[in-house]
Amino acid sequence: MLESNKKLIYILPFVLFIAMTVLLYTGLGKDPTKLDSQLIGQPIPAFEKTLLLSPDKTISEKDVQGPALVNVFASWCPACYHEHPYLMQLTQSKTVKIYGLNYKDKREAGLKFINDLGNPYDLILFDDNGRLGVDLGVYGAPETFVINSDNKIVYRHVGIVNLDVWQTILKPKMFPEANEQQEQGAK
């Protein structure tokens, strides 16, 4: 056996070990329940949905105008109750338009949720069969989508929105220009 061959055989397990370590280490700390949205960069899906607050009114994707947040909520979702007070606060600042998507809910339950906790939404779409939710790739509430002025999906946040999430993640995605200007101003 050649000397160099022998060396290679001794080194190979070590190289494999390093490769496995790197591979597994990069996976550590990743949340496996967070999935990447498949819809980034795509326009919001076509829909025709009634409004939660006025069941006889139907609107379509053409009635939605970004830049805005689309917040997916439901009365059966405990984290949505937790998130709601911050949405109320956010909407009072009048800097952002928030659309609500009442996902897989009963109308009475959805109405009770809004009547009890207040309405931070410009419009609330009522998605009783969950079809629009599936078209958006929603897999759990609450989820919040950022759409830009062309009605394209820029970002999807899974989990509750709070001050930190809004300022560090959603706001920069929603107003990238303002963010750049701020950074330049800081310099």
List interacting residues with other proteins (CB under 8 A).
1, 9, 12, 23, 32-33, 35-36, 38-39, 74, 76, 104, 129-131, 133-140
The H or E element containing residue 101 is strand 97-103
C-alpha span between 183 and 187 (Å, rounded): 6
Least distance to other proteins, CB of residue 161, Å: 19
Nearest CA to 70 among 20, 109, 140, 122?
122
CA distances from 36 to 31, 45, 169, 171 (A): 11, 17, 15, 19
Least distance to other proteins, CB of residue 165, Å: 21
Identity of the residue, 131 or 173, whose beta carbon is nearer to other proteins in the bound complex: 131
Identity of the residue, 97 or 156, whose beta carbon is nearer to other proteins in the bound complex: 156
Least distance to other proteins, CB of residue 80, Å: 13
Identity of the residue, 37 or 91, whose beta carbon is nearer to other proteins in the bound complex: 37
Least distance to other proteins, CB of residue 9, Å: 7
